[in-house]
Amino acid sequence: MPLAPRLTASGLTFTLTSTSDDQIMTTPTTPTPLPCHDRLPWAGLLALGTAGFITIMTEALPAGILPAMSDDLDVSEAATGQTVTVYAIGSAVAAVPLTAATIGWPRRRLLLLAIAGFAVANTITAISHDYVLTMVARFVAGVVAGLLWALMAGYARRMVAPEQRGRAMAIAMAGAPVALSVGVPAGTFLASLVGWRYTFGIMTLLTLVLIGWVLATVPDFAGRPRGARFPLRCTLRIPGVVPVLSVTLVVVLAHNVLYTYIAPLLVPLGLGDRVDAVLLVFGVLSLVSIGITGALVDQWLRTLMITSCALFAAATLALGLFAALPWVVFVSAATWGLAFGGAATLLQTASAEAAGEAGDVAQSLVVTCWNTGIAGGGVVGGLLLTGAGTASLAWSALLLLVTGLVVTVAARRHGFPSSRPA
């Protein structure tokens, strides 16, 4: 087999590459900076975290402003809830093909392209008075979100030394719980003061600031050579990948059945004016969860994932049995946040470690399952809301979470192993 020389900080090394099972070729590689082993690149990782913040804000904000957005667009709340669904569909259908098509692109160029897509989509959402145009903008936002999420986990892991990857991913993924804990409640409150359209406009301004931040602090990395691509079917055959994807799907589906329709769920309980407070409680505990996950994920991935599923199931059970008690709703929201806040880090870490060199493809599959869960949550939740009423939301979520817990416990050898290599 031919060897391709490349010069690195540690000397001259050689790389073997292939483009298929029966063809071997030499592929030039581009050296990338070696990560610093004594400290984390906080500025760059926080920029990635802010990108995740904007992604989740764009996705989840309609859940907090559903009644106002519905009235303004002159459609039902169930129809407005589909703005979350179509966003998720865009991510689900785009993540795998876009990741495959752009795998050789310079990473920072791709990251900036995805971020700029949010500025365009949120601007259109802010000014559109047409439901169809709004849905198109939401679909575009979902497409760039799928690309961004597939990119971020690998990006964060490449910015640091191997022993720092868990913490780096936790920082990069922290934007999601910050958005849920601070961003969406603040956006909901701001929308009540100035209108939901101005809230989306402010998000566009934040996106423009982020573009400059990324240019200043995030290093560029070369894309993978063509010979490094892994076929989708081969990635799915890697032991552990399918269990991780299955758990991702059911956990996110359960979350979005509840989260997308949190406002209609709270109104019959007399908490319609406390949506922002319930979301704040959920989000604050999500921040606690992401801190715990970042500190422990490198050693306790399996334990954390089992605990996450079990706590989330307990929260939904309490909502199903005792939702008439306001304090139970707040305790359940806290438990839900503690369970779900670190889920993205746990699932993407499990996927990356199970897939190994096929990590990029596996991450895009996680994004696809994640956003299929979001889309499914919008559709299933809407059907439950109009057909069986709000009480059915918690029980449906509980059934999904029990399934996820069973799969996690069963994936002892691969996916969520009881012991992990150093």
Give pLDDT tens digits for 244-268.
Answer: 999 999 999 999 899 888 888 888 8
289 vs 341: CA distance, rounded Å? 5
Which percentage of the chain shows pLDDT scores above 90? Answer: 35
SS3 7: strand
- Most confidently modeled of 35-44, 170-179, 399-408? 399-408
135 vs 87: CA distance, rounded Å? 8
User: Which token pair is 234?
Assistant: 């081969």
- pLDDT number for residue 307: 96
In eight-state DSSP terms, residue 162 is G
Average confidence (pLDDT) over 87-93:
84
- The residue assigned the tokens 């979520």 is 397
| Angle between helical axes of 391-410 and 241-259 (0-180°, round to 10) | 160
| Residue 29 · residue 15 · CB < 8 Å | yes
Amino acid identity of 17? T
CATH of domain 41-410: 1.20.1250.20
pTM beyond 0.75: no
User: Concatenated DSSP letters for 209-238?
Assistant: HHHHHHHHHPPP-PPPPGGG---HHHHHHS
Give pLDDT tens digits for 271-314.
Answer: 877 887 888 888 889 888 988 988 888 788 899 999 999 999 99
224 vs 226: CA distance, rounded Å? 6
User: Which token pair is 299?
Assistant: 């050693």
- pLDDT number for residue 231: 66
Half-sphere exposure (CA, 13 Å, Cβ side) for 252? 26
**Domain spans in the chain, listed from the N-terminal domain onward:** 41-410
Cα–Cα distance list, 331 to 189, 280, 314, 336 (Å): 22, 12, 11, 8
Give the residue among 372, 352, 370 at the shortest CA–CA distance from 415: 352
Q: What is the dihedral of CA 57, 85, 140, 363, to 10 degrees?
A: 80
| Residue 116 · residue 110 · CB < 8 Å | no
Neighbours of 219 (CB within 10 A): 14
Strands 17-20 and 23-25: antiparallel
Give pLDDT tens digits for 203-212.
Answer: 999 999 999 9
Cα–Cα distance list, 68 to 84, 154, 165, 261, 280 (Å): 15, 38, 41, 14, 19
Q: Greater confidence, 407 or 229?
A: 407
- The residue assigned the tokens 């700029």 is 116
Give the residue among 115, 111, 118, 108 at the shortest CA–CA distance from 141: 118
User: Which token pair is 130?
Assistant: 């047409």
| Residue 362 · residue 235 · CB < 8 Å | yes
| Residue 362 · residue 351 · CB < 8 Å | yes
Any residues with CB less than 8 A from the CB of 364 and at least 6 apart, and which?
A: 95, 96, 98, 99, 100, 146, 150
- pLDDT number for residue 104: 82
Give the residue among 57, 55, 4 at the shortest CA–CA distance from 30: 4
N residues, the chain: 422
| Residue 242 · residue 151 · CB < 8 Å | no
Average confidence (pLDDT) over 327-333:
93
Bin 2: left if φ > 0, else alpha if -120 < ψ < 50, else beta.
beta
